[in-house]
Amino acid sequence: LKVIVGLDYEVRGHQHIPPGGVIFACKHQSAWETMAFHILFSDTSYVIKKELFAVPLFGWYARKCQSIPVDRAGGGAALRRLIRDVRIQIAAGRPLVIFPEGTRMAPGTRGTYHPGVFALYKQARAPVVPVALNSGLFWGRRQFVKRPGVMVIEFLEAMPEGLNRDQFMAELEKRVEAASGRLADEAAPHHPPVSG
């Protein structure tokens, strides 16, 4: 990307990344962050919807990396499996990435933050670190053309312990959206949003 497109990345907030198993609750704007954590950390695992395992090449890659499937229609049993699988990865000291909105959202928009991330916060016994970014300004959803510039990914302070579901979900969304908006505003004078 850097050589062909002129697209680079910058990482901020290193000081907020605890050692050992950690859950990154990341904003999702582009395909870039579905790969970036494998560059930023060794042995990263992702929570992804189970349908993606059927996608040629990507599904094989996801299995090889021991990504964790989530069955959105599976109810309580699926949630229990998810928590069990996440605990195994965390116990092994692996970083885990979850996209709380469940799908890519264009810069300046937000989806519904799903409560599965709260279940992991309560049950997985690992820090939850919110992650903001502005990748969608340069690499739009379903867009082949990539724009030159610098994508920024920012790790925010870990969520405090002891929050109830409403407190946790509201605070997570507030932190991620505010920081992602700030990063978009920083880049926007030179890079209007990519449509889609």
For 129-184, the pLDDT digits (tens) are 999 999 999 987 766 778 899 999 999 999 999 999 999 999 999 999 999 999 99
190 has a pLDDT exceeding 90:
no
Residues 32/139, Cβ–Cβ less than 8 Å:
yes
- Pick the residue with more confidence: 59 or 72? 59
**pTM reported for the whole predicted model:** 0.89
192 has a pLDDT exceeding 70:
no
Q: b/e string for 42-64 if b means 16 or more Cβ within 10 A?
A: eebbbbbebebeeeeeebeebee
**Max CA-CA distance within the chain?**
47
* Strand 149-155, strand 128-133: pairing: antiparallel
> Which residue has 């954590």 as its token pair?
37
Return the structure tokens found at 125: 């016994």
What pLDDT score does 196 carry? 45
When pLDDT is cut at 50, 70 and 90, the band that residue 75 belongs to is confident
- Pick the residue with more confidence: 159 or 39? 159
The strand pairing partners of 49, in sequence order, are 70
Q: Is 11 left (phi over 0), alpha (psi -120 to 50) or beta?
A: beta
The strand pairing partners of 70, in sequence order, are 49
21 has a pLDDT exceeding 70:
yes
Query: Which residues, other chains included, contact 3 with Cβ-Cβ below 8 Å and sequence gap of 6+?
Result: none
